[in-house]
């Protein structure tokens, strides 16, 4: 029986990982209340450095490849390979830089809380009460 259970459990873990809802967050002090997926794509692909309110964005992301791939696939439609090809051109010609990676989700949320120009994405379940402003939920 265990022989059948293991693959089922593994499938559940995998599907849970890939279906974890992701939220785009900013500080409660930010003047931005919402953001379109297209604007988000332009920000995270370094095509613009400006937030919708005109301020220079501090773009951050978790240092966790499963959230990174889920986010970029959803927002940009690009796979990791396509992104690497894109970033190679952007970085080596000095046209743009990828988002800065932060090792812990808690540190990421804390940073965003205290910086009105910071923007990031985190798993929705990691956000407590109304500590930050959610601009968009991705599923």
Residue ranges in contact with other proteins by CB under 8 A: 38, 42, 47-50, 54, 56, 58, 65, 80-81, 84-85, 87-89, 91-95, 97-98, 100-101
- CB 4, min distance to other proteins, A: 31
Other Cβ atoms closer than 10 A to 78 = 16
At how many degrees (to 10) do helices 2-19 and 65-76 cross? 60
**Structure letter (DSSP) for residue 52:** T
- CB 8, min distance to other proteins, A: 28
Taking the least distance from each CB to other proteins, the nearer of 49 and 134 is 49
At how many degrees (to 10) do helices 37-44 and 65-76 cross? 120
Taking the least distance from each CB to other proteins, the nearer of 93 and 114 is 93
Taking the least distance from each CB to other proteins, the nearer of 21 and 95 is 95
Phi/psi for 48 (5° steps) reads -135, 150
- CB 63, min distance to other proteins, A: 8
- CB 123, min distance to other proteins, A: 20
First-to-last C-alpha distance (Å) of the chain: 33
């Amino acid at each position: 029986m265990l022989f059948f259970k293991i693959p089922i459990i593994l499938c559940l873990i995998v599907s849970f990982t890939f279906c974890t809802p992701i939220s785009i967050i900013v500080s409660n002090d930010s003047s931005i209340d919402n953001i379109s997926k297209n604007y988000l794509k332009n920000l995270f692909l370094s095509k613009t450095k400006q937030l919708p309110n005109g301020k220079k964005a501090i773009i951050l992301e978790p240092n966790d490849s499963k959230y990174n791939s889920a986010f970029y696939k959803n927002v940009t439609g690009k796979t990791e390979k396509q992104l690497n090809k894109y970033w190679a051109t952007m970085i080596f010609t000095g046209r743009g830089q990828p988002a800065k990676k932060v090792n812990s989700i808690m540190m990421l949320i804390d940073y965003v809380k205290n910086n009105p120009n910071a923007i990031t994405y985190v798993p929705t379940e990691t956000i407590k009460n109304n500590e930050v402003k959610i601009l968009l939920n991705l599923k």
